[in-house]
Structure 1
């Protein structure tokens, strides 16, 4: 096994339609702990979302694509409202198990979940101020990644922020050691390590992003694909 090359052909256990549904449910629930520890969304809120919401001067709509159990979306809404912003949010995921877990979580007014693909929202003419995703990019093949970025541009009138892991030996070793205590009865440990092997380096991600996108590093072992629709005067149709 080597981390020098992205292992795009490696499959995560939770992506298997025949995986144990009870173990999948526990995995989705446990992601709340994992994401708070590693995903750096509190920092992204402070550096990206909070200034953006402040500049809007009106209530904001946020979309989380591939929301899983919804923990990241709920956390961001909580942070925004704590800062005095009025935010409504929608989390979408094609997996019915994920949407079921999200809907069973603590009720938060103004936060809804739908079992739907982002392209369906584009076709519906939906628009949001901010579009986000967490740990989604490394799951996608080249065509699906291009589709996600296209949909992000079509659905957001403000900013798009897609957060993922930065592949590396230190990240792999640290996760292997630290995730074990919270992984029992879930796919977290095995799939977390596979996720790192499937993930991009900063240079690799920058190379596959379309014009107008950039890659930030919001924290150790983290990458953030960013697009600012307010400063980039280009519609998705301009990409051909």
Structure 2
């Protein structure tokens, strides 16, 4: 496995979108699994699942007469989806199902295995979030032909400015609400990525991809333009720890 050297220090004034090692379809599966394990630890430390659950709670509280269902887009190894299902089910005191989709067959296989081991009824499928369409719920209950919400964490920064709105439109077609969690491009965020990736993972893939993700991230102002280009109306964007933002949109808002 060849991991590129990090680029020299450069201005963060503009996004630097370059291929990350985990995006390589020829990445060795063992190296991919090691990187997924490192990302699992990073996600747990970041508190991202909690911020997603807090944003989703008022949305899913309005779902009555059936099981709320959420789709995790670009779900990776499924740890985020499983953790989100646990937190939402606890918060709402009812079962909440969180399915997922990812372009990588390795990630989808890991996610299905993890859900099986955790005893969760979840459906993870291969899907291209950019090309669409996204999956619809399997065996939907009446009124649940669409997902109640689609979420995505740490995915949109992988995309070019013109591609990101397409993913948001695909998510809006698949679900009645969208919650996005992603990095903000800041100097503090870049420094934190360098430290956290090395402290929490031995994977050279994570060591390279973590800081590169920050270089590729949007600022809040840039993501406002992405959401507007996607045609979303009535959305909200919040800055959250650690150096991330949340976008929240509901179909009923406009």
TM score, norm. by length of structure 2: 0.83
168-177 or 212-221: which moved more? 212-221
Q: Is residue 2:244 matched to residue 1:222?
A: yes
Q: Is residue 2:79 matched to residue 1:71?
A: yes
RMSD over aligned CA atoms reads 2.0
Aligned counterpart in structure 2 of residue 120 of structure 1, from 117, 133, 139: 133
Map 1:157-196 → 2, pairs under 5 A? 157=176, 159-196=177-214
Map 1:70-219 → 2, pairs under 5 A? 70-83=78-91, 84-105=93-114, 106-118=117-129, 119-121=132-134, 127-157=146-176, 159-210=177-228, 211-212=232-233, 213-219=235-241
Instruction: Determine helix, strand or coil for the equivalent of 1:226.
Output: strand
Instruction: Determine helix, strand or coil for the equivalent of 1:57.
Output: coil
Which 5+ residue runs of structure 2 have no aligned equivalent?
Answer: 1-9, 139-144
1:215·1:223 contact (CA, 8 Å) conserved in 2? yes
Q: 2-side partners of 1:149 and 1:11: how far apart? A: 21
Q: Is residue 2:34 matched to residue 1:26?
A: yes
Question: What do the CA deviations read for 1:25-84 (whole angstroms, capped 9, x no partner)?
Answer: 1111222111111252203312x2112222223420100110000111111100111221
Which 5+ residue runs of structure 1 have no aligned equivalent?
Answer: 233-240
Q: Is residue 2:60 matched to residue 1:60?
A: no
Q: 1-side partners of 2:179 and 2:136: how far apart? A: 21
